[in-house]
Amino acid sequence: MGYENTDNIPKAESERIEIELLLQAIYLRYGYDFRNYAKTSIRRRILHRLSLSGLNTISEMQHRVLYDKQFFEILLLDLSINVTEMFRDPSFYRAISEKVIPVLKSQPFVKVWHAGCSTGEEVYSMAILLKEEGLYEKTWIYATDFNEAAIQKAKAGVYPLSRFKEYTYNYQKAGGVRSFADYYVAKYEYAVMDNSLKEHVVFADHNLVTDGVFGEMNLILCRNVLIYFSRELQDRVIKLFRDSLGNSGFFCLGSKESIEFSGYSDDFENVVKKEKIYRKRA
């Protein structure tokens, strides 16, 4: 049973307070900081888990989170869901091939940071692109996410085979030059990505909110992650990326994201404005 609202606090205000207390509890107990994430998205995900949990209030959920780590890990998955697919936005990968790859080819070696990599589909997409451009052997891709379950899925590289018709279409639209089937093996209802695509990838835990700089990157991709952050947190993370880029390094956001209103927008120039590809000013 929930507590009776004896102080005539509006329901929306009570809910807001409960959510703030839950997020504070998560931060203090486990170190994951969702306190500055976009409020609407966080609220929707918390209420979804509440409806499935058999709990009556967010306050009860807070108590459960504090004393039941398994329940917290379930909620963590809810809070960190990112929609992803292979060669998502094919025109973006074409732009990378045309505008970024020629510059990377002039480097003695290449470091790529795929921040917020989720379950890895876009990491393997980048590995395939680099392989076809003859860059993969001199590149290291650092694929990071704060969600350990997502990282493990990314490492495994096993995805539902039912999605590979769509992925093949994306690959072809992105300018792929081989048969997409060369990059995976079908096993029953799943596709297993070829091991060669993992040889130059380091999967690691990294929390954009609380962890530090990855130094001297040539290319950073963080697509469709910042949309879940508040403006203040977006600024903090964009500064992290700026400080992690080497001279004239490239930085890529998702189609609905921008650095235009960031306090650090002057530190970048547009390379392909439509595809949200930027370059750090020298």
Our measurement of the distance from residue 2's CA atom to the centroid of its chain's CA atoms, rounded to an integer in Å, reads: 36
Residue 2 included in any domain? no
Beta bridge partners of 229: 37
Exposed/middle/buried for residue 52 (C-beta within 10 Å: 0-12, 13-18, 19+): exposed
Exposed/middle/buried for residue 196 (C-beta within 10 Å: 0-12, 13-18, 19+): exposed
**One domain, residues 129 and 177:** yes
**One domain, residues 125 and 252:** yes
DSSP-assigned letters across all residues of 85-115: -TT-SHHHHHHIIIIIHHHHTTSSSEEEEEE
Domain containing 137 — which CATH number? Answer: 3.40.50.150
Given this model, what pLDDT does residue 82 score? Answer: 66
Given this model, what pLDDT does residue 27 score? Answer: 87
**One domain, residues 69 and 161:** no
**One domain, residues 74 and 161:** no
Question: How do strand 184-187 and strand 190-193 relate by DSSP bridges?
Answer: antiparallel
Residue 54 included in any domain? yes
Given this model, what pLDDT does residue 226 score? Answer: 85
Given this model, what pLDDT does residue 4 score? Answer: 47
- Kindly give the parts of the chain with pLDDT less than 70: 1-9, 81-82
Given this model, what pLDDT does residue 88 score? Answer: 93
Q: How many domains does the chain have?
A: 2
Given this model, what pLDDT does residue 264 score? Answer: 94
Of 79, 99, 115, the residue that ends a domain is: 79
Given this model, what pLDDT does residue 213 score? Answer: 86
Residue 217 included in any domain? yes
Residues 1, 4: Cα–Cα separation, whole Å: 9
**One domain, residues 163 and 224:** yes
Q: Where are the beta strands (DSSP E) in the chain?
A: 110-115, 139-145, 158-160, 184-187, 190-193, 201-205, 217-222, 245-253, 268-272, 277-280
**One domain, residues 202 and 259:** yes
**One domain, residues 154 and 123:** yes
137: Cβ–Cβ under 8 A, 6 or more apart, which residues?
Answer: 200
**One domain, residues 46 and 102:** no
Given this model, what pLDDT does residue 281 score? Answer: 94
**Residue 89 tokens, joined:** 């936005």
**One domain, residues 73 and 121:** no
Of 19, 46, 79, the residue that ends a domain is: 79
Residues 205, 79: Cα–Cα separation, whole Å: 16
Are 191 and 164 spatial neighbours (Cβ–Cβ below 8 Å)? Answer: yes
Range of the domain at 17: 11-79
